[in-house]
Structure 1
Amino acid sequence: MSEAQIVKLGKKYGAMAERRLRAWQNLIQDIQHFDEDEKLHRVNKFFNQLLFVDDIKHWGKKDYWASPVEFLITNGGDCEDFSIAKYYTLRQVGIPIEKLSIAYVKALRLNQAHMVLTYYPKPSATPLVLDNLIGEIKPANRRTDLQHVYSFNADNLWLSKKGKRSTLVGTSDQLKPWVQLQSRMVNQDY
């Protein structure tokens, strides 16, 4: 995102939105050469500062997947917005796509659907979970409060078993909200 785009959005959405966008771009620049573990921790901490706001209250829609820019401009979103922003930011700082998945899970303590970002240090490894509910990054097998259902990235869609990708079932373009998000991001004026 260019300086001109940040300034333009700041004029439209206010000084605080501009500050958040600038902080995001500074984070991306600052951590480019850090190791992957440090990138995960910095990105998780950065986004977990934003506010959790339910889609109905925030967007007036039952389910809306915000782009990272929309999430930052409005200073809030729900679980998928946290996960999506972390996903795209980690991709921007060089984390390979095959190491990242957005996971649709059931948060057992809350008895509700939830989304988290998972990071696979190696293809067969137990992934680490980046979550807006818990600030600490933990291996999926230590997150017994989450029941994994499926996960996806920009390329693929998997069923999940025991916190890990288990069965490739297709491509992520089967997920309508993901396709809508991709379309908006391509067509956004920034």
Structure 2
Amino acid sequence: MKKTIIFICICVFSLFVFSQKIEDKLNNKKLLQLIENKYNKNGVNRYGSWLKLLENSQSASEWSQLNTVNMFFNEEIKYYEDIDFWNKKDYWASPIETIGRGGGDCEDYAIAKYFSLLALGFPEDKLRLMYVRQLTVDVPHMVLIYLENNDSPPLILDNYEHKILPATKRPDLKPIYSFNGHGLWLSKARGIGKKVRKQHGLKSWQDMIERIEVDINVSNGEIKIEE
């Protein structure tokens, strides 16, 4: 896991297949065929379950959406270290890779939840990926946080703890920094933290985006599979 504090430039709605009509972009025969060819039937089934989750959760409350997304990935995705699963020391999988292969590490859980909530219409400024220190096992860790409002502590979506809890109820986590497409924040105790100036993009994120763009080219509202 990267320890260097650097800004991740996230161009959410141009880099991934989410847009105004989720089903039009994601429930696409060519995309489904790509997933089936690249992974297996189980991967296709997980992808279909994810699609159904997004479609059925459109009108649900924010709390219900948070819990549904959090539990889906915690239950459907198995935890593996990158070196064992991807044969790489540090690999950030795209959401489709995570769903297709059915496994990943803490970054992959957090990233997949992040994009899923964006697809459901959550404002980007309420979501952040956060690096923490997991004090129980003394390892670096990534979680997704939801900033409901300025008067409440962030809510933690974590693959270790299935229940969504406020940061004040997670003494096992020591926050280091958080980030989204708007910037990077150095964490302060259990609060939101102080924003720092922008930095250059993170290679792990950029590599993930390139893999998405190789497989899926979103052009004029159509998904084109690269030959």
Whether the TM-score (by the shorter chain) exceeds 0.5 is yes
Amino-acid identity (%): 38
Provide closer, same or farther for how the CA distance between residues 19 and 30 of structure 1 changes in structure 2, counting only shifts above 3 A: same
Scaled by the length of structure 1, what TM-score is found?
0.94
Task: Look up the match of 2:49.
Answer: 23
Of 120-129 and 20-29, deviating more is 120-129
Indicate the structure whose relative CO is greater, using CA pairs within 8 Å and at least 6 residues apart. 2
Q: Which runs of 5+ in 1 are unaligned?
A: none
Q: CA RMSD in A?
A: 1.5
2:28 is the counterpart of 1:3: yes
The match for 1:76 is 103
Q: CA deviation at 1:167?
A: 1.3
Letter in 2 for 1:17: G
Shift of 1:156: 1.2
- 2:3 matched residue in structure 1: none
Structure of larger gyration radius: 2
2:92 is aligned with 1:65: yes
2:82 to 55, 66, 69: 55
1:123 and 1:175 map into 2 onto residues whose CA distance is: 28
Q: Which runs of 5+ in 2 are unaligned?
A: 1-25, 217-224
- For normalisation by structure 2, the TM-score amounts to 0.79
Specify which of 184, 188, 197 is matched with residue 161 of structure 1.
188
Letter in 2 for 1:162: A
Secondary structure at 2:197 match in 1: strand
Distance 2:207 2:150 in 1: 28
Q: Distance in 1 between matches of 2:49 and 2:32?
A: 11
Counterpart AA for 2:28: E
More helix per residue: 1
Correspondence for 2:161: 134
1:90 is matched with 117
Which amino acid is the alignment partner of residue 2 of structure 1? N
Alignment size in residue pairs: 190
Q: Contact 1:67/1:84 (CA < 8 Å) preserved in 2?
A: yes
